[in-house]
Amino acid sequence: MVPTLPRRAFMTVAAADLLVALVVVSGLLAVTPAGVVAAALVTPFSLVGYVTAYRLFRSAREAGAAPRDALGAIGEALVPLPVRMLMRAERANLAGVGLWARRRVDGVPPGGAALPYAREQRPLLWMLLFAVVVQAVALEWMVAAMEAPAGLRAVVLAADVYSVLFVLGLGAACATRPHVVTDDELRIRYAAYFDLRVPRELIASVRASRSFDARGVVSVRDGGLMVGVDAQTNLIVHLTRPIAVTRPLGRREHVTSIRFYAEDPAAALKSLTTP
């Protein structure tokens, strides 16, 4: 019987293998006795991990799953929930760049009211994008001046490109995934990292209330949810009963009030109080 590898151990081995692969590609790895011994010690764990992944894939395929779904089953079994959620969010954020380029928004049905929130953080994102681009140019100049191997320059360039795409994706996702009010629900979002649907029958009251004490983007404190932009919120919703909230890394909480930010709080208040 082939042994299996626990989830955390598999992630550790996979991360180590990725690091070694990057070092090999960059041309920095030299064959030494110590390196050979280390490889000999790690290889059995790598083999067990990838055999475990293959067994999961084969079982899913034998159960009738398509290849893509079988690969998804491996992720569900071996990749921790926070990592899966972040990966899904990153894919959705990058897809937001295409929506933003076509001037479209996601998840606003006919008759629904979009409540944008991205404008307040736009200057910060532009500053961050500028810093990332400057850093990428500086690193490229440094590795070129050091006459680094072509593989290392490729790895550094890939990391820099991803950093630029990350900032662009975050800004685009915030712009194309606004809060939404429909006849049935209030939908509160932040990029692709957070999405909460609140049935309107659970809303006891809503009022404008500006505050500057939001801790992070999504936080829960004393039974209250805060979805802030640049540490700000300007609307507060009180609920008739607690509802479950799934935070960006998968942690679940129950809240009875929600503070969030909208660019036009008066319009948001009107859309939420109009029958």
Q: Is residue 183 part of a domain?
A: no
Domain boundary among 79, 107, 126: 79
- Residue 147 in tokens: 């006459």
Are 154 and 216 in a shared domain? no
pLDDT digits (tens, 9 = 90+) for 216-269: 899 999 899 999 998 899 999 999 999 999 999 889 999 999 999 999 999 999
Q: What percent of the chain has pLDDT over 70?
A: 81
- Per-residue pLDDT of 152-194, as tens digits, reads 777 788 888 888 999 999 999 999 999 999 999 999 999 999 9
Q: Are both 146 and 114 inside the same structural domain?
A: yes
Task: Flag whether 226 is in a domain.
Answer: yes
State yes or no: pLDDT of 198 exceeds 90.
yes
Strand bridging mode 218-221 / 224-227: antiparallel
Number of compact structural domains in the chain: 3
What rounded mean pLDDT belongs to the chain? 84
Q: What would you report as the CA-atom Rg of the chain, rounded to the nearest whole angstrom? A: 23
> Of 161, 176, 191, which marks where a domain is finished?
176
Its domain, for residue 237, covers 199-273
Would you state the pLDDT for residue 38?
56
Last residue of a domain, one of 49, 79, 109: 79
State the residue for tokens 């540490």: 231
Per the domain annotation, does 182 fall within a domain?
Answer: no
Query: Within 13 A of 50's CA, how many CA atoms are on the CB side?
Result: 9
- What's this model's pTM, rounded to 2 decimal places? 0.79
In a domain, 194, yes or no: no
